[in-house]
Chain A
Amino acid sequence: MIRFSDVSFSYSAADEPILRHVDLTIGEGEFCLVVGATGSGKSTLLGAINGLVPHFTGGRLSGTVTVDGRSTRDNPPRELADLVGMVGQNPSASFVTDVVEDELAYAMENLGVSPEAMRRRVEDTLDLLGLHELRHRPLLSLSGGQQQRVAIGAVLTASPRVLVLDEPTSALDPAAAEEVLATLTRLVHDVGMTVVIAEHRLERVVPFADRIILVPGSGDELIVGRPQDVMAGSPVAPPLVDLARLAGWDPIPLSVRDARRLAEPLRLRLAGLQAGPPTTPTPASTPEPIAEAEHVSSVYGTVMALNQVDLRIRRGEVVAVMGRNGSGKSTLLGLLAGLRRPAKGRVRICGQVPGDLPPRKLIKLVGLVPQDAGVLLYCSSVADECEASDGECGLPPGTTAATLDRVLPGVPRQHHPRDLSEGQRLAVALAVILAPAPPVLLLDEPTRGLDYPSKDRLVRLLRELVAGGHSVVIATHDVELVARVADRAMVLAEGEVVSDGAAREVVCHSPVFAPQVAKVLAPEAWLTVDEVRVALAGNSR
């Protein structure tokens, strides 16, 4: 179906090629997962399938890419629209019209499909993706998961034979991600669609994949193979695979179901050696909370974004706020950071009301890194950014630069923030926020678009901060992150607190939010591979 023969690509003549001599064949009806670190060339590989690379991005491509016998050399993306459907990371940026139904019809209008066929296909797609109740809704009023499904539907109506998706679930909560992936599997099995998908959160996609294409980066040869084989040697791996390596399971299980069947001996070993999992050292908690929100409510138009929410954060504590897209997580962080005032209730940070403080005083008490960390940065180079930050916060020169080195050493100082990788950009934003040393740090969806090594670094950094007496609140969908760093977890739904308690209990008792390790080793409440490793090591000693 898709054939790469001897394809090399570089964005400019001076650059090292990002893909080098790629030979790859993807058959009809395959579900292919593309994995690799950030900046390794995953998106480039995907873009080359429908010709957006190089027709739209520029750059130099040698060799040929053919889709169903048609070469991207002779056919620009618009001519391949009936063959390849492309869904990007940010669905709302790709919408052309305003209403769900029109958006679904847009590609067909361009292709000149007859009105009767168009009507039929729109109805079919609405049913296939479960969108029929949303058909007249304005696109901007949809939640992230719904938008992503509409974006998939909008390319499906053109009845392509290949669907290419670049991180389709990165912005979605676990339930919505399941929904999208289930849809994709259905397409592969029912319609024989060929699906090529890039994703960072492997734990979500690996169970569905037929084949994995590992892009090692810097132009090295691709590693292609069955998921079991590739995962066994992959530098990026979901927690399940890490657990399997630790326990020495063979073949490597890819789904929780497979793992549970193999896990019986491990469960016995763990249960035998101690009654409960090792308790993580609780931070020295002061009775007086450093930040608190009391019965806060917040209203957007007629929507109740938050309703009577209580949150107390003690010094040196990591609190994870979880919940569906649109459940009020970001609003809660906004209230704590003083971006908006609560309609009811009160917020206190170190005894002060954040909404009343002038910005300059506020940043010394609380720092928020928003979902898109890049909006915090506005200078033309990283070095300028650090200087500007020192000036604004009244810090001695070099403080921010030193903070940046502590967060992530080796960020190129002359680069424009936009040219950095996702992880580097987050590091710069974190440095800018952390420079005035606010005792309370708020992170909104920090792992979006981060690969596993960057995530590991973030986890280490957060642990250091907590050890240094900072308090951290994370709003996230990433259950594995919660499992690794959070002391307490709070689940919001429609602006109300559903559960609030020790992270271990909250996470393990919810089928949606449970991390993979917990699912495999249930009913014992183990959260991470590291915990298991430490326990096993302690036992053998």
Chain B
Amino acid sequence: MGVAAVRTTNPMLLAFIAVVVVFVVAARRSAAPWSRSLAVFFRLGLIVIVIRVVVQVVFGYRLPGHVLFTLPHVPLPGWAAGVSIGGPVTLESVLQAAVDGLRLAVILLCFGAANSLASPYRLLRCLPTVLYEAGVAVTVALTFAPELVITIGSIRDARRLRGRPTRGIAGLRGLAIPVLEGALDRSLQLAASMDARGYGRRFAAPAHRRLATGATALGLLLVMLGVFGALDPGSVPSGGIPVLAIGAVLLAMGMTAGGRRSPRTRYRPDVWRLPEWGVSLSGCAVLGAFVIAGVVGVQGLQFTPYPLRAPTLPLFLCIGILAGLLPAVMAPSPRDPGYREADEEMVDLVQSETNPSAGVPGVAR
């Protein structure tokens, strides 16, 4: 859905996508703490729209058209060509800015939806075996954050109990050292516990494994670069597709080699079953509809304020977006016992992952 939003500038379609995403989240949200992130991203999206419009009004490039009102013009020196402050504000330019902002907001919303439906821990479980060590480090870091908040709270309390300031620079300095001390203490205890529970037992071929890990990491990097290039031609020098291909091959090699060697096993790996296929396919359908529309040239995919008219709602794309609703019905309910929560939006997540503007999921928060 995120990628679909990149490909259109039609505000009606964008709004439609947003509605579908919110509906899916509402239908399949679990009670976990990360589920509340959608609201945060929604608010962030609104802020983005407002900022985009304000920036356009004050600094924006002056599109000709219906003048709404005129701001006092500030003359700028010659080197600042292309940037202007103030001047006439036209309906067209404001509209254009609002649609731009909306597009970004919908992308953010898709990202938020993915975040609120999939647990960052479960994503880490999907990591290939060769990247296991890195995965553990991230998991530990993620658990660390809430603990840190608790530690800071107790230290602030302790300072208050001794009659010391809890705010201001003095307060902050008094806070930092005990917090660091606590963090060090905890990591030592954790290391002891992990050691005692068999973390890092001897492996048969460590050199081979390290090579495999390296190959996998490099492959992942190349795949990311490749996707970036494919989405935005010209940003990666050699073009996206070849880089993507090389990366994919490296990744596959590293993963099979490393995975075969590792004596470590995985507890209840997530199985890819019919619902998972359905959910991924429905995601692909939305994307497919937009790509086809782009290639064939369906009316209404792009919206420009010239001439000024209401945007149309192309039927073909509406059906495409409606496919995005399927996960709400098809995916298992998180309240289902015996089934681990919320697989459904893995698709959306994968999509936002391939979406350069959305950043790396799970870590971004």
Contact = CB atoms under 8 A, between A and B. Distances in A.
Interface string A125-158: 0000000000010111000000000000011001
A118 B157 CA distance: 43
A252 to B, nearest CB: 35
B265 A108 contact: yes
Nearest to A367: B161
Interface stretch (B136-144, B217-225, B243-251, B312-320): B136-144
| Listed residue (B196, B199, B264) with the most chain A CB atoms within 10 angstroms of its CB | B196
A433 interface: yes
A92 B190 CA distance: 9
Contact of A433 (B139, B146, B161, B340): B161
B237 interface: no
Contacts of B266: 109, 115
Interface residues of B, number: 49
A96 B194 contact: yes
A111 B201 contact: yes
A154 B121 contact: no
Given A76-B195, A86-B196, A97 B143 contact: yes
Interface stretch (A239-247, A357-365, A445-453, A522-530): A357-365
| Listed residue (B166, B174, B268, B340) with the most chain A CB atoms within 10 angstroms of its CB | B268
B170 to A, nearest CB: 12
Given A78-B201, A79-B201, A154-B197, A112 B158 contact: no
22 contacts: A52-B192, A78-B197, A79-B198, A79-B201, A81-B198, A86-B193, A93-B189, A94-B193, A96-B140, A98-B139, A106-B197, A107-B197, A110-B199, A115-B267, A136-B341, A337-B161, A339-B161, A359-B160, A359-B164, A363-B162, A375-B154, A375-B178
A68 interface: no
A81 B267 contact: no
Given A97-B143, A110-B198, A370 B177 contact: no
| Listed residue (A94, A98, A106) with the most chain B CB atoms within 10 angstroms of its CB | A98
Interface string B252-274: 00000000000111111100000
A39 to B, nearest CB: 18
Nearest to B143: A98
Interface in B199-218: 199-202
Interface in A348-383: 359-360, 362-363, 367-368, 370, 372, 375-376, 378
B32 interface: yes
B121 A97 contact: yes
4 cross-chain pairs, A with B, having the tightest CB-CB distances, nearest first:
A81-B198, A105-B267, A94-B193, A110-B198
A359 B165 contact: yes
Interface in A29-69: 50, 52, 55-56
B143 A359 contact: no
B73 interface: no
| Listed residue (B121, B163, B165, B194) with the most chain A CB atoms within 10 angstroms of its CB | B163
A111 B265 CA distance: 8
A405 to B, nearest CB: 20
Given A98-B121, A113-B265, A118-B265, A158 B198 contact: yes
A140 B136 CA distance: 18
A82 B201 CA distance: 11
Contacts of A155: 196-197
A170 to B, nearest CB: 15
Contacts of B190: 93-94, 96
Nearest to A389: B162
A110 B264 contact: yes
Interface residues of A, number: 67
Contacts of B66: none
Interface of A: 50, 52, 55-56, 76-79, 81-82, 84-86, 88, 90, 92-99, 101-102, 105-115, 118-119, 122, 136, 138-140, 154-155, 158, 334, 337-339, 359-360, 362-363, 367-368, 370, 372, 375-376, 378, 389, 392-393, 432-433, 436
A485 to B, nearest CB: 22
B155 interface: yes
B43 interface: no
B267 to A, nearest CB: 3
Contacts of A78: 195-201
Given A105-B268, A108-B267, 14 more contacts: A52-B192, A78-B201, A79-B201, A96-B194, A97-B139, A108-B265, A109-B266, A112-B265, A115-B267, A359-B165, A370-B157, A375-B157, A378-B178, A392-B162
A338 B142 CA distance: 32
Contacts of A93: 186, 189-190, 193
| Listed residue (A76, A77, A84) with the most chain B CB atoms within 10 angstroms of its CB | A77
Nearest to A113: B265
Given A78-B200, A363-B163, A392-B164, A115 B193 contact: no
A50 B195 CA distance: 10
Contacts of B140: 96
| Listed residue (B143, B146, B165, B267) with the most chain A CB atoms within 10 angstroms of its CB | B267
A150 B267 CA distance: 17
| Listed residue (B178, B190, B265) with the most chain A CB atoms within 10 angstroms of its CB | B265
Nearest to B194: A96
Nearest to A392: B163
A302 to B, nearest CB: 11
A118 B192 contact: no
A88 B136 CA distance: 21
Contacts of A115: 265-269
Nearest to B160: A359
Contacts of A389: 162
A95 B192 CA distance: 11
A527 B168 CA distance: 50
B90 to A, nearest CB: 49
| Listed residue (B158, B165, B194) with the most chain A CB atoms within 10 angstroms of its CB | B158
A393 B158 contact: no
Interface in B34-58: none
A50 B198 CA distance: 11
Contacts of A90: 189
B267 A122 contact: yes
A115 B265 CA distance: 7
Contacts of A56: 191-192, 195
A268 to B, nearest CB: 50
